[in-house]
Chain A
């Protein structure tokens, strides 16, 4: 079955450590996104990528980094520079418009907690 897989589902990080969240899709989508979700703030865009080896900062990119070496994969690293990393992280993908339908498909999310 096609879809987006995020791992792990729950992640605990000690202060000062970098952690990497995985996102893999087998939908053959060109575009991929990372969002952060906090209570009362909806989904805020961290980074997005339109094609392999290319990505753009979203609204809250500070303290995060990404790579896009393969079409299927778009990992997100939360660095020690991110001051308040505890949140729910969602990965999504979409296909550029070639007709009807350009909606994003989402993974099940990763809950990151700093301990």
Chain B
């Protein structure tokens, strides 16, 4: 069974600084996807960034980037130039690549990291 671990329950960063959130996962699969989701106080889940395991290049979305280490099963999120609006709970998630015919698989989440951006 796959598991996702986020070992930092809470983190704090000053506005405009950089912060890194950690995520590790355990799987015997070779083809899978990893995601970071953001849940602000409104509780609406928002996709931040996605990484395909077969791609060696780290994904980047504006101020958000990941450090994907497949052998170490590590998937950290770096937020550059932190903004007050980045204050939220951040969840790391794993999904095995869907099989033939497009049948989907479970999306498994970590316990989350609460990030507070201080002015």
Kindly report which residue of chain B lies nearest to residue A94, judged by CB atoms.
B104
Contact A92 B107, CB 8 Å, known A102-B33, A103-B35, A106-B44: yes
The range of chain A's interface size is 20 to 34
Q: Determine if B102 is an interface residue (Cβ-Cβ < 8 Å).
A: yes
- What chain A residues lie within 8 Å of B97 (beta carbons)? 97
Binds B, one of A17-25, A38-46, A61-69, A73-81: A38-46
Q: Determine if A112 is an interface residue (Cβ-Cβ < 8 Å).
A: no
Contact A40 B9, CB 8 Å, known A45-B107, A101-B50: yes
Assess the B109–A102 pair: CB atoms within 8 A: no
Contact A42 B111, CB 8 Å, known A31-B104, A97-B98: yes
Q: Number of contacting residues on B, CB 8 A?
A: 26
Assess the A102–B111 pair: CB atoms within 8 A: no
Q: Which of B56-113 contact A (CB under 8 A)?
A: 91, 95, 97-98, 101-104, 106-112
| A65 to B: closest C-beta gap in Å | 18
**Sampled A-B contacts (26; CB under 8 Å):** A30-B104, A31-B104, A41-B111, A43-B91, A45-B108, A50-B103, A50-B104, A92-B107, A94-B104, A94-B107, A96-B98, A96-B102, A96-B103, A97-B98, A102-B33, A102-B95, A102-B98, A103-B33, A103-B47, A103-B50, A104-B107, A106-B44, A106-B45, A108-B42, A108-B44, A109-B44
Show the binding face of A for B, using Cβ within 8 Å: 30-31, 33, 35, 40-45, 48, 50-51, 58, 88, 90, 92, 94, 96-98, 100-106, 108-109
